[in-house]
Amino acid sequence: MEEFQNSNYDQSKMLKKYFKPDYSGLFNKIKNIKVPVKNEILIGLLDGNWHSELDLIRIAKRQQKYMGAVTLGMMINSLNNVLKNDYVEKRMIDGKLYYKISDNYVGLTRAAFNKYKFKLD
């Protein structure tokens, strides 16, 4: 049986490219969100569970008095556009709209907010 011999094969580069994506750019974008309302919404979503639209509106109204479903939807869309992925997922459950941070990004978001929190202290 022949052994695979290829000088161009570098296992660490292959793992980084295909199995361990580099999240540093996304981490910095999350960390650099400066809008307090968006930060409060993301902090509310950090547990990784589904949250109703009304729950998120209540959270956001602590920061911004005039907050409704349209404004919340626009903020979620802008987060997804800025981060260039489906960062915040939405789903209809029993006729109500629910949101959550994608499972792939919950840990990354927690890390970004811990770093953000320590910068503020």
Alpha carbons 68 and 57: distance in angstroms, whole number: 6
- Give the pLDDT of residue 5: 55
The pair phi, psi for residue 49, each rounded to 5°, is: -95, 165
Q: d(Cα 107, Cα 61) in Å, to the nearest integer?
A: 26
Q: What is the pLDDT of residue 82?
A: 80
Looking at residue 51, its pLDDT comes to: 94
- Chunked mean pLDDT (size 10), the chain, 121 residues: 53 50 68 82 89 92 87 88 83 93 84 64 47
Which residues touch 63 (CB under 8 Å, ≥6 apart)? Answer: 36, 37, 40
**Contact status, residue 22 vs residue 89, Cβ threshold 8 Å:** no
> Do the beta carbons of residue 101 and residue 42 sit within 8 Å?
yes
List the domains of the chain with CATH numbers: 33-116 (1.10.10.10)
pTM score: 0.70
- Tell me, what's the pLDDT at 18? 46
Output the pLDDT for position 99: 94
* Residue 36, pLDDT score: 85
pLDDT at residue number 28? 74
pLDDT confidence of residue 10? 60
For position 121, what pLDDT does the model report? Answer: 47
What local confidence, expressed as pLDDT, does residue 112 receive? 77
